[in-house]
Structure 1
C-alpha cells in the first residue's frame, strides 16, 4: 500500500485500472488494490474509519483494527496525511523540502489511467479471470468462490464470514429471505468465530472456528458447507441459487450441526474448543474441527442418536484425556498426509478414539493411532525441536497447559466445560426426589448431558 502511494506521488509508472460498467454500476476488473490504497489515504480509512464502520455494521474485528493502525502509522511516517497535501495547495504555502515539493506537484497533476472493457457480463467475467490468473498467482480460495459466487455454499460462506455485514451478496433475494439469511449467518458466526484470538493466548476461551481472517474462514466455511450436504457435494456441483432457497437450506444444516457441537440448546455436546480443535500450542487445527464436524453431521444424517450418548457418560473424560495426551502426535501425523486428506484424517482419529473408548478393548497409544491412519513409518520420523527463545507458541502452550488444569469438569460426564460457549444447570437431587431450587442443589453441566440425564 505505502509503496504504491509513494509511486503515485513520485511520478512512477502505475498500471492502468481496467473497468467495466454498462449501466449504473462500475466494476473494477483489474486494479482494485491500487484504487483502495489511494482511497484509504484520501479518506484516512484503512479498515477502521467511519466508512468502514458503517459498511461493516459497526462490527470490526480487533485484528482488522490492528492492521489498520499499522498501515496508518506507516503511511503517516513515510508520506504524511492526505490533508497535509490539500492544505499546502489551498493555502499556497511554499514547500522548502524539494522531495515534498515534487510530490505536491505530482499530486496536483497526476491522474490514473483507465481502460474500459466493452461487451456484456460474460466478456467482463472472462477478462477478469484472464487478467487475474496470469502473471501473479491468484488466491485459489478467492478464485474458487468467485467462479461459483452464485451458488449456495459461496453465498452462505460470504454471509457467515462477516456475520451478515459488509457487501450483501444475497441482496437479490426477497426481503424475507434476506432477513433469514442474515439472522442465521450472524448466529453461526457467533458460534464459530467468537471471541477473537490474541497471541500469545491468555485465555482458554477460544473460538471453535479459529481466527476469523477472511480467506481462512471462507475456506473453512466452504468445507463445512460441503460436509453438511447429504451428498457431500463440492461447490462446483451446485447449481446457481436464484431465489436463496438452497442457501437457506444450507445455512439451516450448518446451524443444526454447529448447535450440536456448541451452544446452549439441549442437543449441544458443549465441546471445549481447546480440547477438540486446537493444537497443544494453542493453534487452531482445521482438520480436527472439520473431522468432528463431519462425524456429527454423519451421525445426524443417519439419525444415530446412540453415538452421542457416550459424551454424557464418564467415558467422555477418557476421550478428552486421549485427545489432550496425544494431541501433538495426532496433529503431526495428520499434517504428514496430503492437504486434501487431512480433514478425513481428523475424522478417522476422533472416530477411532471414540470407538476405542466405547468398546474399552485396547489402550490408545501413538503406535495405535499411527497404525489406524496407516502412518506407522511416519511416526518415527516426526520430530519437534523447539528453538532457544520462547516463541508465542511456547508461551501459549505453557499457559494453556496450566489453564486446563483449572478448567471446569462436570460431574455427570467428567468432561471439560467452557461456560462461555455452552452451559446448562442441573438439579443435583432431582425435583421428583425432593430436590430444591436453591443454589446448594444446582450444578453447571453440558446441555446434552442435562437433557439425557433423566
Structure 2
C-alpha cells in the first residue's frame, strides 16, 4: 500500500483571482523580500492575508518524511527555493503562485496542524479520514524526534539553562532565518498565466488535475470536487444560492458514505470493505472525475471546448457550459448517486455487489478500473433490460470471477490501473455474461474471453506452481489470504445464490406478507435488495400470469 500523504490543504485558504482590472499593480520594489517564521502564526497579519488560487490543486502530495525534511532544512539554513507570490490590489490578499507545499509545511509546524487539528477539523467539517489522521501523527512524531515542535523551540531561548544544546541552536536559527520571496508583477491574468507556466515545469500538473482546473466552473468538475471530500473542504460551489449549496453538500455526503465508507486501512482486517477503495488517495480524484463523466455521458471534447471538432452519431457533441446556478451540478450528482446506489447500499434497486468479488484484486488491492467497469457493466445491463437475466446467472458469474481473480491483475498489469483498463475489464464481464447465458462450459468460457481482441494477450490461466513466494508473508500475501477468507465466509443471497455484502443486505419474507407470511425468524432469509424487490416480485408476477 502507498505511504499516506499529509493533507495540509486547510492551512492556506483558497480564493478567486479577480478579473482583469485597470488598477495599477503593487510595485514589487516596495514588497518584502523575506518572510519570517513568525509571519506564519495564526495571529500574524501576513498569514491572515495569504491565499491560494481557487484552482490550485490540493496541498496533499507530500509524505510525512518530506514535510519533516523541509522543516529541518529551514532550521538548518539549507537552501530552500523562493516562494513566489502575487498581491491583489483589490482585496489586498497575497496569493501563493509557487511554493504552496513548502509554505504549508512550515505553517503546519507553527500551528501543529498536519491535517488533524483545529483549522483542518473546521475546514473538513470534522470529516478527517483515518489515513489522514495517521499521516498527521506520523509527521508530528518525526518532527518532534528530529528538531522539536515549534512551541518547544519558541520557549527554548527563555529556558536556555534547561534546554538541550542542539535544540537551543535550532531555536537561535529560528529567530534569525527567513523564507526568500519573489513577486509576480501585473494584473490577475498575468498571475494566473504565471501559475500555469511555473507549475508545469518542475512538477507538471497531472492531466486529470489540469482538466479539473480548466473545467473548474463546469458541473462535472464541481461534482467531483464535492464527492471527493464529502462536501467539506474548500467550497468550490460557494457562489451558488444557499439552498443549492446545501443540496450539493447533502448529495456529496450521501455518495461519499455509499462508496468510501468504512475507511480502508493499509492492511485489510475486516470483511466490511468500501466499494470504491480509499477516499483519501492519489487515484481517488481521478476515479471520481471519471465516474462523474461516464455516468453523465460527458466526453473530454465537451468540457475542453472542442465539441465542434468531433461528432457523435452524425451530430456535433454538445458543449458543456459553466454552471452558473448549481443546478447542472446537482443533476450530475444525482446521476452518480443513482449509479452508485445500483451497485451498493440498500436502495430497492441495489444489486449490492460484494466489493471483495468485484473491486479488489487477488492481492487485496482496490482496483479503480474494476469499480468503473462494474458501473459500466450494470449500466449496459440496464439499457438492455437484462438485469433480471444477469441475476439468473449471477452466482455462476461471480464464482468464475473469484476462481480466476488473477485475470483482473493480468489486465491491469498490461493496460494500467485506471482508464485504459476499464474497456478490457468491461469486455471480460460482457463476454462472460454471454457465455454463461449460452450455457458454455468453464473451459469454453475462458476460450471465449481469450478470443476477444482486448483480452487476447492478457489472460493466462495459472496454477499455484507458477507463483513464487519468499520465506515471510508479504503484505500482499496477507491481504490475499484475508480477501480469500472474506469471500469464502460471505453469506449468500437466498434468492440468487450470489454473495452478500453486509452493507447491502436485506431481510426477505420467504412467504410474502401478502400471502400470509409473518415476521417469525423461520420465515426470514437474507437477500440482495434487488432480489428482494424487483427480481422476486417480477418472478412472482410471471408465475401469477402462468
With normalisation by structure 1, the TM-score equals: 0.92
Q: Quote the Cα distance in structure 2 between the aligned partners of 1:10 and 1:60.
A: 32
Unaligned runs of 5+ in 1: none
1:358 aligns with 2:423: no
CA RMSD of aligned residues (A): 2.2
The residue number in structure 2 matching 1:150 is 217
Partner of 1:388: 471
SS in 2 for 1:173: coil
Q: Taking structure 1 as reference, are residues 362 and 12 closer, same or farther at Cα in structure 2, changes over 3 Å only?
A: same
CA 377–343 in structure 1, closer or farther in 2 if over 3 Å, else same:
closer
Q: Distance in 2 between matches of 1:340 and 1:81?
A: 43
The within-5 A match list for 1:162-241 is 162-233=229-300, 235-237=303-305, 238-241=320-323
Q: Secondary structure at the residue paired with 1:217? A: helix
Q: What is the rounded CA distance, in whole Å, between the counterparts of 1:99 and 1:399 in structure 2?
A: 47
Cα displacement (A) at 1:311: 4.3
Structure 2 matches for 1:75-86, cutoff 5 A?
Answer: 75-86=143-154
Q: Does the 8 Å CA contact 2:160/2:168 hold for their aligned counterparts? A: no
1:297-335 alpha-carbon deviations (Å, 9 max, x no partner):
3454x3x3x31113443x211011011111102330343
CA pair 436-375 structure 1, distance change in 2 beyond 3 A:
closer
- With over 3 angstroms needed to count, the CA separation of the structure-2 counterparts of 1:226 and 1:72, relative to structure 1, is same
* 2:76 match: 10
Comparing 92-101 with 145-154, greater Cα deviation is found at: 92-101
Distance in 2 (alpha carbons) for counterparts of 1:3 and 1:398: 37
Q: Aligned pair in 2 of structure 1 residues 13, 233: CA closer, same or farther (>3 Å)?
A: closer
**Structure 1: how far apart are the matches of 2:191 and 2:477?**
49
Instruction: Identify, as 1 or 2, the structure richer in helix.
Output: 1
The counterpart of 2:196, out of the listed 129, 136, 144, is 129
Task: Give the match's secondary structure for 1:18.
Answer: strand
Distance in 2 of aligned mates of 1:38 and 1:295: 47
Aligned to 1:325: 403
Number of the residue aligned with 2:369: 287
Distance across 2 between alignment mates of 1:384 and 1:148: 45
Indicate which of 431, 439, 442 corresponds to 2:521.
439
* 2:135 match: 67
Matches of residues 13-92 of structure 1 in structure 2 within 5 Å? 13-22=79-88, 23-24=90-91, 25-89=93-157, 91=158
Contact 1:201/1:282 (8 A) holds in 2: yes
> For residue 415 of structure 1, what is the aligned residue in structure 2?
498
Give the 3-state SS of the residue equivalent to 1:408 in structure 2: coil
* C-alpha displacement of 1:228: 0.8
1:413-453 deviations in Å (ceiling 9; x for gaps) = 00111122x12222111223321122221222111111121
1:125 positional shift: 1.6
Displacement after TM superposition at 1:192 (Å): 1.1
